[in-house]
Structure 1
Amino acid sequence: MSVHNKPPISIYLSILILIYVLFLNPLRAEDKRQEIRFGNNGVFRILQVADMHYDYGKSTECLDVLPYQKKSCSDFNTTEFVRRMIRVHKPNLVVFTGDNIFGFDTIDPVRSMNMAFEAVTEAGIPWAAVLGNHDQESSLSREGIMTHIVKLPHTLSRINPDGLGYEIDGFGNYNLEVKGALHSPLANKSVLNLYFLDSGDYSTVASIPGYGWIKPSQQLWFQQTSDRLQQEYMSEPEAQKSPAPGIAFFHIPLPEFKLFDASNMTGVRQEPISSPSINSGFFTTMVESGDVKAAFVGHDHINDFCGKLNGIYLCYGGGTGYHAYGKAGWSRRARVIDVSLEITMNGNWGSVKTIKTRKHLDDPPRLSSIEPIVLWSRHYAGRRRKVVP
């Protein structure tokens, strides 16, 4: 081809721009990753994995297991448990609620994280994570840990929201919007809102001992996000005239967890509630928001109860990891949360009808299901809601 017959540079430029938009544009990839929705069966299933404390893999010994289990037990037991839960129960989203890696004597935290999340990254399904109080105790800061997590395959995790106009405390504060079922009137609306917060590690105030807490800047972000989502949802003619329900995930339990005992909870409380020594008021903030129906935490591995207070269920995940402390003879466990849509008069999938949860034990060859609970039902919820200006 002669020089005179070559295509003009503008054509090459157009092709490069098209390739960028279709395949390389990071904003487009992020938007695509963000879209999660209810399936054609009207259910959105979440698997909560709490306190893996992942370390070296096969060479890591298990803690608090029966003598006959010790020889063959390692971090790989944690991986296989999570893998089986994904394979059998097919969650739409997996949520890791902190202390994902052991931290304290972890030599290579990046390698440990890659192994810790392997079961979900290889499955190719969406997942999200928050940090616990141990994740940063190796050579990476909390920001460094979260920066690596957001680069892993199929994650919806975020370091922090953009464009707030103020600094927000912690790393891993973000929300996810779960859209309605495809081809339904609410297909483009968030009918379930998921909030993820960094509950910190340890107090940085000399006069306040103990664990960290959810700070005012995080609560402000939560309030603003909840208000915005409620306004968007309530503007939809097909929506029920009450907020779309919300679920919160963080690591360290709130002081309100101490208000439950055998008389007002489902599950067990086998160790003290390791909450912050002060009450930062986040539970009150959630109640005032009017949309959060349940909050799920980790941290205390052999507590797995749910209790209801002021219209919100507070739930432990129960320890999943084998390199985390536990209780010999008390199976490691994970929690499943099923959110179901109602069917409208026209036969379409509509708003969220119920939120239910149950626990599954790692008791091969079974994954025994125990203690199912209805956390929320629209027909019994009444019309209490925050008035959004």
Structure 2
Amino acid sequence: MFSIGQELNGTQHRDENWREIAAAVREEYDGPILYSPDSTGGENWLEITWWDAVDAIGIHPYDARLSDHDDPTVDEMIEYLTPAVDRLEVLSKEFDRPVIITELAYSSIDGMSAGSSIYYQPATTYDVDLQEHADVYEALIQAFSGRPWWKGLFLGNYFPTNDTLITPPNNIFFSTYGKPAENVLRSFYGAEPQPAWVAPEPPDIEDMSIQIIYDDVFRNNWGYWPPNNNFDIMDISQKDIVVDGVAIEIVLDSYADLRISPPASENISEYQWISFDLYSEAEDVWDQGQGNFHPVNLLMVMFGSYYQATPFSVEITATPYLDETLKAKHWHHVVIPIEDFGPVRSRSVDDISIRNISPNTVKIYLDNIQLLKEKPAE
């Protein structure tokens, strides 16, 4: 099956143009074809008049609401969604075309039953709710099940890493990996369930002279956010360029951030230093605006109750934090005094960010990220 387009909602009224596209594709491809709108602005798949030009109706129902109130049950979500499913049935019969959910992923945040658009609302608190995450998938599958015109679901944003959970599944990411929702989907697809994830006992941070954030894996329940949740630009267990074991590889566009997050707001007042190893593919990048090369420039930013992005950041690539001037394709050891992030009354940290403020894209590698109570020996 070949998709001739997806989520091009602003063009879907152009009946003749889409029929021409479908016909041109059929001249080169003899398999079934489909198109998939998303649900931005409502059930816009109902407005398309050229479904007979393709072989299946694809939908991305990210914004489809499953409830109008907080904490709905599965049965309440099924009841709420059923009228929308009924309208899809009418559409399917009108054009004699099956319906396929060709992409869907829900964030595991509280309130996701209101539709995925809540993820981008300014007032969203981003509280983890793994049960609602599972219930939303369960309700959607049950609402569609038993309808012969519905041919299934393609899951989006599933990010397994390796045999261990690099990021604990009690996160708000769209991936179902390691979460209760995964077993809902495994049951739907006919696979055996996975064992339930059990949260490890939290370490006694006060007794730790070193808190390891990353050394081959993320530890102590720290996790990570690549820019725009784009996991394709990141590899947290690459083996080619390392200090030892494995290391993080990340591609950062200009002013993009890699955010590293504790499981909850972390009080780091006991710690005096943060250290890590850094490797950059380049020591300078092309500045299109100035027409010359500009040194790679990276910031570390701490976000939390009293931290703000501008006053509480330090320039990683400046001395004296680097062991020497930044060189391309060379591992550097970075040690930063936490007090350099600014005079604050509390050091309760929600995120530690690595930000590229260079005028162009850079690829960097990170390893051995840790918080220290005492400065390491020179």
TM > 0.5: no
Relative to the length of structure 1, the TM-score reads 0.25
Q: Which has the higher contact order (CA 8 A, sep 6+)?
A: 1
Structure number having the greater strand percentage: 2
Relative to the length of structure 2, the TM-score reads 0.26
